[in-house]
Amino acid sequence: LADMTQKIHGEYHLMAVKTAIVADGRNKCLCEAKSNNSDYLMFIDSDIVFPSNAFERMASLQKDIVTGIYHQGGLQNFRPCIYRFTKTGQIINYAIYQKDIPFRVDAAGAGMLLISKPVISALPNNAFDHMNLPEVGQIYEDVSFFHRVRDLGFEVWADPTLRIGHT
């Protein structure tokens, strides 16, 4: 993190939110980004390992939302935390994807996520709250967030060129 922040030009704010409820922490960060009129909001979970150029790379894509790709369980043979929605709103992992160019996804794990200013401004303050879908039941913070993003018409991109680890 220290290496990455040295490469950021301009002002930035770091927040470490301690809460047992992930949605509350993410919503708090979102509200702080709104009140600061931030250009970006970047989530980096404590169990994510990332290169020092992650912010620069993600911001250079100039997309609404960008995620790095990491794997459930942290091992490359587990499924990646990038998803597409079914017609009922459930998620299905991408099992096969291009490894060298960014591509659109419907949802992702929010452990390494860059959100642009237009998205920050448009989101409700409770964007990460759990939601219930009629055919699915309760869905948790990350997937709920991406349902709201989709409903607002924003795009989510995954960058497979970032080497992200999940411990």
First to last CA, the chain: 16
Contact 104, 155 (CB under 8 A): yes
pLDDT single digits (tens) 83-104: 999 998 899 988 788 889 999 9
pLDDT single digits (tens) 130-143: 998 888 888 889 99
Distances (CA, A) of 76 to 57, 141, 165: 21, 24, 9
Is residue 75 predicted with pLDDT exceeding 60? no
Pairing of strands 112-116, 131-133: unpaired
Per the model's pLDDT, the better-predicted residue between 57 and 78 turns out to be 57
Half-sphere exposure (CA, 13 Å, Cβ side) for 92? 8
Rounded to two decimals, the pTM is: 0.89
- Quick one: DSSP state of residue 129? S
In this predicted structure, what is the pLDDT of residue 15? Answer: 64
Residues 6+ apart with CB under 8 A from 114: 40, 41, 42, 55, 58, 59, 65, 66, 67
**What phi, psi does 43 have (nearest 5°)?**
-100, 130
pLDDT single digits (tens) 20-40: 789 999 999 999 999 999 999
Three-state SS letters, 70-117: CEHHHCCCCCECEEEECCCCCEEECCCCCCCCCEEECEECCCEEEEEH
Contact 94, 105 (CB under 8 A): yes
* Closest residue by Cα to residue 150 from 55, 62, 83, 71: 83
Per the model's pLDDT, the better-predicted residue between 118 and 92 turns out to be 118
